[in-house]
Amino acid sequence: MAGISLNGVYNHFIQDYVSKDVTHADAHRKDELRDVYKSIAKHNKQSPLYLLTNDDESRNDAIDIKERARQLQGNIFSLSDQEDRSSLTHTSAFTTDPGRVAASYIGKTPDQDVGVIGFDIEVTQLASVQTNQGHPLPLEEKAALTEGSYAFDVRIGEQEFEFQFNIYDSDKNIDVLQKLERLINKADVGLKAKITEFENGFGAIEITSTRTGVREGSFNQFDIYETSGDLGKGAVAALGLDNVLRPASNALFTLNGEEKSAVSNHFTVGSKFDIQISDVTDPGKPIHVGVMKDNEALRRHIMSIMDSYNSFVTDTVGENNDKFKSERVKTEAIGIAKLYMTGCEDIGISFTGEGTIEVDEELLKQAIEASLDNRQLSSIKNFTDALIKKAKDISVDPMKYIDRPVVNYKNPESTKNTTSPYITSEYSGMMFNNYS
């Protein structure tokens, strides 16, 4: 019976208390964890001593409001990968010939003038894979190798692999080649094999690397050879496994006239651009890669901020009870919205009677395409910053939204008020269950 009871407690905790998702807001660095602790300590140092109600309803409400705040913060953080999580800077890369050179912008902090970011690229050679092709053999004739067990080795970079196979007296050349094809493909070591058939019933094994290019100090993407051992020799020579039909090559290109190379056709430039080249460029006609403002991304960003606010306002209220001050949460959130978003009707953002925000998507799109002015952008950014701050405040002390009588006020004139973070942590500090 005890085991059943414990399982019930565990399942209840997992379903109701543990966070349903993990966001950027939960991936804290050491300095961020330190700030969380300092926030709790500072809050408690000036806070009166409360009488906390020890009942399930209060605990559930406190945990619920804290999780709602954490979700709001996580939703906002997920909209931007920049250091400034409320940044509205959205940029995308473009090229003058995306059919030959495709680009995406991966920079964290783009310059203010996005028009100056970019470069010219000329591609003279694509990176290619290495292909070995064995000797053409009559497929339906008796195997070129005698019956026995054979082995050969493959070196790919600094790794070496041994392949073993058997040949029987009844095997034909096609049987041997099919065995090698299955053996190499099943090994999945960075090689692909297939049988190439020629005219007059001849065929050969073709082995290709899955990676392109040759790293410095190497001549081949892979090498096939035989070493001394107990198994039979001669398979490499008889089948021509070491015959290089097409060697691997590096991509050759210039960036603003400076010669560069890469082992792959997919590479990054200056930690800002992700480049994929698919064809050489015409001589003397470089392709320009640059950055432009991404209006669609900005529209989606603003829409997501408003949706996150609306979800927080509507989901947090829920059912009122004698102890949970849900209307206070709603009033504070609406107050933030009205402080910063009033006067944004001309860009399609307005309030409903319930305190939620309504967005005219078409009007917002038109306003963004006409370029939002600094006042409008500042209003949205300040609104986002205020939401993040409110979410952090709620996470530090969700119990302020639970009925809790004051037992003792601290002396405001005293300079000896000490920090006791564990009192606050009784209901909130311990709830930072994802901050690890």
Share of the chain above pLDDT 70, in %: 76
Return mean pLDDT, the chain: 82
Q: Is 254 helix (H, G, I), strand (E, B) or coil?
A: strand
Is 120 found in the same domain as 37? no
Is 285 found in the same domain as 201? no
Residue 145 forms part of a structural domain:
yes
Residue 14 forms part of a structural domain:
no
Q: Which of 232, 265, 293 is the last residue of a domain?
A: 293
- Give me the helix-helix angle, 374-396 and 56-77, nearest 10°: 150
Is 303 found in the same domain as 280? no
Beta bridge partners of 142: 172
What is the per-residue pLDDT for 316?
72
- Give me the helix-helix angle, 30-46 and 374-396, nearest 10°: 70
**Which amino acid is present at 359?**
V
Is 322 found in the same domain as 425? yes
Range of the domain at 264: 91-127+250-293
Burial class (CB in 10 A: 0-12, 13-18, 19+), 169: exposed
Please say if the pLDDT value at position 195 is more than 70: yes
CB atoms closer than 10 angstroms to residue 215: 11
83-130: pLDDT as tens digits: 566 677 778 889 999 999 999 888 765 555 555 578 999 999 999 999
Is 281 found in the same domain as 223? no
What is the per-residue pLDDT for 84?
61
Burial class (CB in 10 A: 0-12, 13-18, 19+), 21: exposed
Q: Which of 231, 263, 293 is the last residue of a domain?
A: 293
Overall number of domains in the chain: 3
Is 422 found in the same domain as 305? yes
What is the per-residue pLDDT for 19?
47
Residue 123 forms part of a structural domain:
yes
- CATH code of the domain covering residue 233: 2.60.40
User: What are the strands of the beta sheet with 273-277, ordered from one edge?
Assistant: 101-105, 273-277, 266-269
Residue 6 forms part of a structural domain:
no
Share of the chain above pLDDT 90, in %: 43
Residue 341 forms part of a structural domain:
yes
Banded model confidence at residue 374, pLDDT cuts 50, 70, 90: confident
What is the per-residue pLDDT for 376?
83
Q: Which of 230, 258, 293 is the last residue of a domain?
A: 293
Residue 12 forms part of a structural domain:
no
Is 259 found in the same domain as 118? yes
Is 405 found in the same domain as 306? yes
Residue 23 forms part of a structural domain:
no
Is 302 found in the same domain as 162? no
Is 183 found in the same domain as 67? no
Is 170 found in the same domain as 256? no
Structure-model confidence comparison of residues 12 and 336, the more confident one: 336
Is 325 found in the same domain as 401? yes
Residue 5 forms part of a structural domain:
no
Q: 115 Cβ partners below 8 Å, 6+ apart?
A: 290, 291, 292
